[in-house]
Amino acid sequence: MKNVLVLIPLTEEQKTRLESIGPDCSYRYSNGAAVSMEDIQSANIIIGFPDPAMIAASEQLEFLQLSSSGADAYVKPGVLRPGTVLCSVTGAYGQAVGEHAFAMTWELLKKLHLYRDDQAREHWGDRGTVGTLRGATVVVVGLGDIGTEYARLVKAVGARVIGVKRRPSACPDFVDELCLTDELDRVLPEADVVCSVLPGTASTYHLFDAERFAKMKSSAIFINCGRGTALDADALCEALDRGVIAAAGTDVTEIEPLPAGHPLWKQPNMVITPHISGGFHLPGTLDRIVEICFANFEAYLKGGELRNIIDFRTGYKK
């Protein structure tokens, strides 16, 4: 009998369905705030997003099915013992995060963040010219599920889309040019908007630094809805202060919560949201998460093919 710990919110109907997949298992339902070290250490299978520190290379844990797309916190040495199977829910968050990045892009292009600031201080004024995505060149760095959704959206309103990814593949019909990561520096000077949706890995750490911002247009907008570690926050602050780029928006930061007094908070041409583009904020996302988790749970128990297995060497799905 396997002990299964479930850390995602399920309806009674969904619990019944889950338990019918593995009738010989023992189930415990909790959440990240209430779960105990004993619960985690005694589990053979975990479905959800447990505190990595509480796993502590558990000898009991065989299979961790994350409820997140990012797995960077779990591939670090000492979190999972060798041999533990780790899967993500890549494919569940594309719509939610892609639309959030799309909305953030428009907010900055139309200077809505500045008008909101004016509203808060009861100031009626004209902020001048605005931008558009029609005819703009948008570089999407990380053409996975989220990047694909964002690319579709900007293409639909008339942008020229350059997709950047780490492995070669066929070029999707909503991408005008597809290139590999080592070509990023070549395409950055063309970009009116750069959207990063990269995972947090050793190869993406501070990929966007002072040198990369210097390659961008002074009118360019930078969006980050992947992982905060892909961005050098100090370099971004300097780029905004000096007018190296025009504006930026991020849903993620390297340190979360972003500490009070951090220079990012004070940037007038910066939009910050507190890592909320994903989660369960968009109705339907949880349903997608549940379907992926349940399918992988069944596949694991029955020896079937698992979806979104994480490669511990790269931090990406295999």
Choice among 166, 262, 275, 307 that is catalytic: 275
Residue from 313, 288, 269, 304 nearest 69 by CA: 288
Residue with tokens 């602050």: 237
Q: Quick count: other Cβ atoms within 10 Å of Cβ 221?
A: 26
Distance CA 127, CA 117 (A): 11
Phi, psi (deg, nearest 5) at residue 136: -80, 155
Choice among 256, 281, 291, 313 that is catalytic: 256
When computed from its CA atoms, the radius of gyration of the chain, rounded to whole angstroms, is 21
Residue from 71, 40, 72 nearest 58 by CA: 40
275 as an active site residue: the answer is yes
262 as an active site residue: the answer is no
- Which residues are part of the catalytic machinery? 227, 256, 275
